[in-house]
Chains A and B, each alone.
Chain A
C-alpha cells in the first residue's frame, strides 16, 4: 500500500515534467526565422578617369565628359571613367544595366555628314562575371547578368566614349545609365 502511494506520487511529479518539455519545443520554433531578400548598392566612387570627371550623389552620380568633341574638328574625343560601388545581394539575383537614350543624344536633329548620337560602352564586373553593354542607338538597351548565388563586393562599371569618324553636331549630349541589382532570378 505504501509502495503504491509512492508510485502514484512519482507519476504526479512526472506529469508536469512532460508538460514543461512540450513548452521547450515550442520555444525552439519561435527562434527560427526567414532572412529577407536584400540587395543593396552603395555610393559610387571614381577609381580612374581620362577626359572625364565624376560627381557622386545619393541616387548615383553625374559623369561629365570634359572634352566630348574637339574644338578644332568637332570629332568625338575618347574618354573613360571607371566607377565602383559596394553592392550586396544575399540571394541569387540579376545585375541589370540599362541605357535610357541608347547613347549620348542631343536635341539637334540628324544632319548629313554629322552624328547627333555619341556611342559609348559600359563594362560591368560583378559576382565573378563581366558583361559589356553597347547601346548603339537602341533606346532602353540593357544587359543582364544572372548571378546564381549571393554576392557582395565592389561592383565595377567602366564607361568608355567611342570616337567616330564623323564630326558631332554642336550641343549638349546626355544619357542615363541605370544600374540595378534585382533579387531573385
Chain B
C-alpha cells in the first residue's frame, strides 16, 4: 500500500515537466499619433524689381508712383516663406478685394481716363504646384473701393512637403494712364493646409 502511494507521487513528478513552460513572453504595443501640422514662417524678399519696399509682410508700392505724371511704374517682388505640411494638403491664395483699391477717394473723375484701382498678378510656387496667375490682373478704370475677393483655384499637393513657398507679386504699371491720388490697399492671404 505504501509502495503504491509512493509510486503515484513519482508519477506526478514525472508529469510536471510536460506542463511547465520553459519560456515566457509578453508583448508591449507602442503607438502614438503624429498630428497634421502646417507651418509658414515670416517672409523674406527676393528678386526685387522697381521701387517697391518690403517690410515684414507688408509690400509698399508707393515708390512705383511717378509724382511727375501720376502714372505707376512696373515692379515685382518675390516673397519667400519657409513652409511645412506633414500630410497631403492644399495651397491657395486669396485677394480680399481682387485688386488694390483706393481707400481715401472714390470720387469719379470728371473727365479723362484714370486708374482708380490697381490690379496685380500673384503667382505662387510650392512643391509641385505652380500658379502663375492666381490673382488675375485687374487694371481697368471701373469704380474702385472694396471689390470681390478672388481666390485661386484649389491646388492639391499629394504628400507632405517641406521647403520654400514663393509668392511673386507683379505690378504691370499704368503705362501713360494717370492714377487717382489716394491710399491703395489689398490683403493677400497665402495658405497651405486647408483650402481657402
Instruction: Spell out A's residues near B (CB within 8 Å).
Output: 23, 26-27, 30-31, 33-34, 36-41, 44, 59-74, 76, 79, 83, 85, 87, 104, 106, 108-109, 111-114, 118, 120, 157, 159, 161, 166-184
Per-residue CB contact flags for chain B residues 14-31 toward chain A (1 = under 8 Å, else 0) read 101101111111111111
Q: CB-CB < 8 A to B23: which residues of A?
A: 39, 180-183
**Which of B19, B30, B37, B162 meets A174, CB within 8 Å?**
B30
Further pairs besides A178-B27, A180-B25: 12, Cβ < 8 Å: A27-B3, A30-B6, A31-B10, A36-B16, A37-B22, A64-B31, A69-B37, A113-B161, A118-B32, A170-B87, A176-B30, A179-B26
Q: Are B25 and A68 in contact (CB under 8 A)?
A: no
Chain A, residue nearest B19 (CB):
A36
- B33 CB-CB contact with A under 8 Å: yes
Bound-state Cα–Cα, A159 to B29, Å: 11
Bound-state Cα–Cα, A111 to B162, Å: 9
Q: CB-CB < 8 A to A120: which residues of B?
A: 30
6 closest pairs, A vs B, by CB? A65-B32, A68-B32, A113-B162, A36-B20, A33-B13, A183-B22
Q: Are A38 and B22 in contact (CB under 8 A)?
A: yes
Q: Are B28 and A167 in contact (CB under 8 A)?
A: no
Chain B, residue nearest A184 (CB):
B22
Knowing A104-B30, A111-B160, A173-B33 are in contact, say whether A33-B14 is a contact too (CB < 8 A). Answer: yes
Q: Are B6 and A87 in contact (CB under 8 A)?
A: no
Interface residue range, chain B? 35 or more
Q: Are A33 and B10 in contact (CB under 8 A)?
A: yes
| B143 to A: closest C-beta gap in Å | 44
Q: Are B6 and A104 in contact (CB under 8 A)?
A: no
Instruction: Spell out B's residues near A (CB within 8 Å).
Output: 2-3, 6-7, 9-10, 13-14, 16-17, 19-37, 39, 84, 86-87, 159-163
Q: CB-CB < 8 A to B33: which residues of A?
A: 68-69, 171-173
| A95 to B: closest C-beta gap in Å | 10
Q: Are A85 and B26 in contact (CB under 8 A)?
A: yes
| A163 to B: closest C-beta gap in Å | 12
Q: Are A69 and B31 in contact (CB under 8 A)?
A: no
Knowing A37-B22, A111-B160, A183-B22 are in contact, say whether A74-B30 is a contact too (CB < 8 A). Answer: no
Q: CB-CB < 8 A to B17: which residues of A?
A: 34, 36-37
Bound-state Cα–Cα, A38 to B162, Å: 54
| A44 to B: closest C-beta gap in Å | 6
Selected A-B contacts with CB under 8 Å, 29 pairs: A27-B3, A27-B6, A30-B7, A36-B20, A37-B22, A39-B22, A39-B23, A39-B24, A61-B26, A63-B31, A64-B32, A69-B37, A71-B35, A72-B37, A74-B35, A74-B86, A83-B28, A108-B159, A120-B30, A157-B28, A170-B35, A172-B32, A172-B33, A179-B28, A180-B23, A181-B24, A182-B22, A182-B23, A183-B23
Q: Are B35 and A179 in contact (CB under 8 A)?
A: no
Q: CB-CB < 8 A to B29: which residues of A?
A: 60-63, 174-177
Knowing A106-B34, A168-B86 are in contact, say whether A59-B26 is a contact too (CB < 8 A). Answer: yes
**Which of A73, A85, A111 meets B37, CB within 8 Å?**
A73
Bound-state Cα–Cα, A106 to B160, Å: 14
Bound-state Cα–Cα, A35 to B51, Å: 93
Q: Which of A26, A168, A184 has the most CB of B within 10 A?
A: A168
